Structure 1
Amino acid sequence: MKVTIISIPVRDQEKAMKFYTEKLGFLVKKDEPLGGGNRWLTLVSKDWEDGPELLLEPGPNHFEPCRVYQDALLEAGYPYTQFDVDSVDAEYERLTKLGVDFSVKPTKMGNVKFAVLNDTCGNNIQLVEYL
Structure 2
Amino acid sequence: MTEFAEHRRVATVALVVASYDEAIAWYVERLGLLLVDDVDLGGGKRWVTVAPASGQGARLLLAEASDEAQSKSIGNQTGGRVFLFLETDDFARDHAAMLEKDVKFREAPRFEPYGTVAVFADLHGNLWDLIEPKR
Query: Is the pair's TM-score, using the shorter chain for normalization, greater than 0.5?
Result: yes
Greater per-residue helix proportion: 1
Identity of aligned residues (%): 24
Give the counterpart of 1:44 among 46, 51, 60. 51
Runs of 4 or more off by more than 6 Å in structure 1? none
Structure 1 pair 23–130 and aligned structure 2 pair: CA distance change class (3 A): same
* Structure number with larger C-alpha Rg: 2
Do 1:15 and 1:121's aligned partners in 2 also have CA atoms closer than 8 Å?
A: no
Question: Is residue 2:76 matched to residue 1:71?
Answer: yes
CA separation in 1, counterparts of 2:52 and 2:77?
27
Do 2:118 and 2:130's aligned partners in 1 also have CA atoms closer than 8 Å?
A: yes
Q: How many residues align?
A: 127
Secondary structure of the corresponding residue to residue 99 of structure 1: coil
Question: Is residue 2:13 matched to residue 1:26?
Answer: no
Secondary structure of the corresponding residue to residue 98 of structure 2: helix
Structure 1 pair 105–13 and aligned structure 2 pair: CA distance change class (3 A): farther
Do 2:88 and 2:131's aligned partners in 1 also have CA atoms closer than 8 Å?
A: yes
Secondary structure of the corresponding residue to residue 80 of structure 1: strand
Counterparts of 1:86-125 in structure 2, within 5 Å, are 86-125=89-128
Unaligned runs of 5+ in 1: none
Write out per-residue CA displacement over residues 73-127 of structure 1, whole angstroms, 9 at most, x where no aligned residue: 47x4x22211111122221111111111111221111121111112113412211
Do 1:16 and 1:119's aligned partners in 2 also have CA atoms closer than 8 Å?
A: no
Secondary structure of the corresponding residue to residue 21 of structure 2: helix
Structure 1 pair 130–14 and aligned structure 2 pair: CA distance change class (3 A): same
